[in-house]
Structure 1
Amino acid sequence: MNRRHCATAAITLVCALALLTAPVQAMAAPVPEPAPSAPAAPKKSLEEVREEIDTLYRQAGAATDAYNLAEEQSKKQSGEIVRLTEAIADGQAKIAELKDRVGAQAREQYRSGGLPPGAQLMLSGDPDLFMDGINQARQGQQAAKGVLTELEQAQEDLETYTKDAGLNWEKIEAGRVKQAKAKKSIDARIAAAEKLESQLATEEQARLLQMEKDAASTAQASWLSSGALRDIDRAASPAGKQAVAFATAQIGKPYVWGAEGPGSYDCSGLTSQAWAAAKRPIPRTSQEQWRQLPRIAVEDMRPGDLIIYHSDASHVGMYVGGGSIVHAPRPGRHVTPAGVGSMRILGVVRPDK
C-alpha cells in the first residue's frame, strides 16, 4: 500500500509540475469577420462630367467678372488719386502765395509805423488827402479781407482733397482684397475643371468636345424653331460694323481670364475691346455691361449688339448677324462663332443706342 501510495503521489506531482511549466495561452477575443468593403462610387457619366465642368467654368466666369470690376475700379481710383495729388500740390502752392501776400500787407503796415490807416489819415491834416486815403484804405481792407477769405477757402479745399485721397486709397485696398479673393475662387474652379478633364481618356475628351457642340446645336435649333430670328434682319450701325469687324478678326485666339488682347481675351474683354475699337468705350465686365448699357428686345437686335447670358450675367457675346455671335467661351477654348441661342439668354444691350 505504501509503495502504491508513493507512486500515485509521484504521478500527481509530475502532472502538477507539467501544468505549471507549460506555456500559458491567453484567451483572445474572437477575431471579427472583416467588414465588407464599401461599394465603389459609381463612375460619373460623361454627360454628368460635362455638366460639372460647365458649372465650374460658369462659376469661374462670375468670379472673373468680380475680378475685372475690382481691377477697373482700382484703375479709376488710382487715376483719381493722381488728380487729387496734383490738386493738393496746387493748393499748397496757392496757400503759400496767399500767405506771402498777407505777410507783405503786414510788413507794409509795419513800415507805416504800425498805425491803422484811419489814424494815419486823421494825422495828415489835408482834407483832399484824407478823402483819397479813405478810399484807398477801404480798398486795402477789402483786398485784405479777400485774401483772407481766399486763404480760408484754399485751406478747406486742401483738407477736402487730402480726405478724398485717403478714402480712395482705402477703396483701392478694399479692391485689392476683393481681387485676391476673386482670383483664388477663379483659380480653384478652373483647376477643378481642368482636373476633371485631365482624368478623361483621349477618346473621352474628344467625345466631351462633341457633346458640347451637340448641346449648343440643340439649344440653337430650339431657339430658331421658336421664330426668334424671323424678324431680325436689321443692318448694323457704322460703329457696330467696326465692332463686329474687330470681334471677328479675333477668332481663333485663346480664352484667358482677365485678358483684354491683343493675343487673348476673356468674354467681356473681347466685347469691350471691340467697342473701344469703334470709339465707343463701354464697361469692362459683362455684369456692368448688362447693368449700364441700354437694353433692347431680342427681336430688335442688330449686329454689334451684345447678348448677355445666364441669370448672373456672367457671359457675353457679340451678335454678328444671321443668328450667330462671336464670343470667348471659356478656358481651354478659343474665340469662336456660336449660335445666339446656344446658351441661356438673359437679354440684349446696345452700346451705341
Structure 2
Amino acid sequence: MSKRSTTTMTALALVCAVTVLTPAGAAYAKPDPKPSPSSSSDPKTPEDLQDLEAVRKKIDKLYHRAAVATDEYNAAEEKAADQSEQIVKLARKIAAGQAELDRLNSRAGAAAREQYRTGGISREAQFMLSGDPGGFLDHAGRAHQEQQATRNLISRLGETQKDLAKYADAASDKWKALDEGRKKKAAAKKRIEKQIKAARKIEDRLAKKERERLRELEEAAEQKAQTEWLSSGVLDEISGKASDAGKKAVAYASDQLGKPYVWGAEGPKSFDCSGLTSQAWAAAGKPIPRTSQEQWKQLEHIDIKDMRPGDLIIYHDDASHVGMYIGKGAIIHAPRPGRTVTVAGAGSMAMLGVVRPDA
C-alpha cells in the first residue's frame, strides 16, 4: 500500500472513530478556558470564547467570499481559454478564405484579360462572325461550359467574400467577449485578494494561543456538524461501490493529500477545491467542468443515499465549494487558503447536494 493510501485510510479511520466513539454534543463543546497569569492573550472568560467564536465566523465568511470570487475567476479563465481557441479557429478560416478569394480573383482577372484581348467580343460572336457555322456548332458546347464556369466563379467570389465578412465579425465579437472576460477575471482576482487579506489580517492580530484556540473552535464546529449529519443514520443507507473511473478519481485525489490550497490552482503542486476534483476526474478519463458551480449545474444530481466513492459533494447554497466522497462518511477536499488537501467529514459543511461525473 502506498504512503498516500495509508494516510487516506488513517484519516478515514479518524473521521469514523471520532463520530462512533463520542456521543453527539459531548466532544464538541467549546474548550474550557485555561487562564495563565503569565499570558495576557489567553481567553479567560466565556465572553472571550464568544469573541473568538465571532472571529471564527467572520473569518469563515471572508474565506467563503473568496471562494465565491475564486469560482468566478476560474469560470472567466475557462471561458477565456475557450474564446481564445475559437478565435484561433476563426483566424484559420479567415486565412483560408482569403487565400481562396485571392485565387478566385486571379482567375477572374485572367478571364477579364482574355476578354480584353478579344476586344470584348464573346467566343460565340467570334464563331458566328467567322462564317463557319459548322465550327460554331462544334464549339457551342465548350462555350456554354465556359459561360457556366464564369457564372460559378462570380458566385463563389460573392460567397467567399460573405464568409470572410462573417468570420471577421465573429472574430471581432469573440475579441470583445475575451476582453470583457479579462476584466471580470481581474475584478474577481481583486475581490479574492481583498477577502484573503482581510482574513489574514484578523488572524495575524491574534496571539499564538488564540490562533490555536481558534483552530480548535474550527475543528469542533466541523466535527459537531459531522456528528449531527451521521446521527441521522444517513451512513447506514449509503452502500454504493465506486465505479472503475471513480476508483481512479479517488486514487488521484488521495495522491494530492498534503498539497497546499492555492486559489485558481489545478495542480500539480497545489489546488483549489474544484481544481482538485476536476483534475481527479480528468485523470480518470472523464473531463468535467472546472468550477464547483458548473459541476453542480452540469453533472447529474444523485440522492445522498445513492452516493458512492468518486461522487462530488457540493457545499453551500451558492455551490462555492466541492469535495470528493471517498466512502465511510468522508471526503477529500482542498479547504481554503492556509490549508492543505485533506480528509474531512462529508457532513462537516452545509451540504447542497451530490453530483456524479460518470453517471
TM-score range, shorter chain: 0.7 to 0.9
Aligned length: 313
Instruction: Tell me whether 99-108 or 284-293 shows the greater mean CA deviation.
Output: 99-108
What residue identity is the alignment partner of 1:84? L
Does residue 104 of structure 2 align to residue 112 of structure 1?
no
Q: Secondary structure at the match of 2:313?
A: strand
Deviation at 1:44, TM superposition (A): 6.2
Alignment match of 2:230 (pick from 192, 211, 224): 224
d(CA) in 2 for partners of 1:124 and 1:310? Answer: 90
In the superposition, the TM-score normalised over structure 2's length comes to: 0.84
After superposition, give the CA deviation of every residue in 1:35-75 in whole Å (9 maximum; x if it has no partner). xxxxxxx9961111111111110010000101111111111
Find the counterpart in structure 1 of residue 162 from structure 2: 156
Structure 2: distance between partners of 1:141 and 1:63: 64
Query: Is 1:197 matched up with 2:212?
Result: no
Counterparts of residues 1-353 of structure 1 (less than 5 Å):
45-353=51-359
Percent identity, please.
58
Tell me the alpha carbon deviations over residues 10-41 of structure 1, each in whole angstroms, 9 at most, x when there is no partner: xxxxxxxxxxxxxxxxxxxxxxxxxxxxxxxx
Aligned-pair distance for 1:108?
2.5
Distance 1:100-1:47 versus aligned 2 partners, 3 A rule:
same
Q: Counterparts of 1:286 and 1:252 in 2: how far apart (Å)?
A: 21
Q: For the pair shown, which has the larger CA radius of gyration, 1 or 2?
A: 1
Farther-moved stretch of structure 1 (225-234 vs 171-180): 225-234
Task: Report Cα offsets for 1:301-327 as digits up to 9, x if no partner.
Answer: 211111100000000001111111100
Q: 1:66, 1:129 → 2: CA distance?
A: 76
TM superposition shift of 1:195: 1.1
Q: CA deviation at 1:81?
A: 1.1
- For the residue of structure 1 that corresponds to 2:236, the secondary structure is coil
The ranges of structure 1 where at least 4 consecutive aligned residues each deviate by more than 4 angstroms after the TM superposition are none
State how far apart, in whole Å, the 2-side matches of 1:217 and 1:141 are: 85
Provide the C-alpha distance between the structure 1 equivalents of 2:110 and 2:306, rounded to a whole number of angstroms. Answer: 70
Quick one: distance in 1 between partners of 2:338 and 2:197? 12
Let me know the Cα RMSD of the aligned residues: 1.6
How far is the alpha carbon of 1:118 from its aligned partner?
2.4
Structure 1 unaligned regions, length at least 5? 1-41
Greater relative CO (CA pairs within 8 A, separation 6+): 2
The letter for the 1-side match of 2:153 is V
1:228 aligned partner, one-letter code:
V
Q: Which AA in structure 1 matches 2:101?
A: I
> Residue deviations 1:203-229, cap 9 Å, x none?
111111121111111111111111222
**Cα offset, 1:262, TM superposition:** 0.8
Contact 2:127 2:133 in 1 (8 A): no
What SS does the corresponding residue of 1:45 show, helix, strand or coil?
helix
Distance 1:297 1:128, change over 3 A: farther
TM-superposed CA distance for 1:350, in Å, is 1.1
How many angstroms apart in 2 are the aligned matches of 1:309 and 1:211? 20
CA distance in 2, matches of 1:198, 1:132: 98
> Could you tell me the TM-score, scaled by structure 1's length?
0.85
Letter matched to residue 217 of structure 1: Q
| Pairwise CA distance, 1:341 | 0.7
Give distance in 1, aligned partners of 2:287 and 2:112: 55
Taking the aligned partners of 1:343 and 1:43, their CA distance within structure 2 comes to: 22
Q: Distance in 2 between matches of 1:298 and 1:138?
A: 74
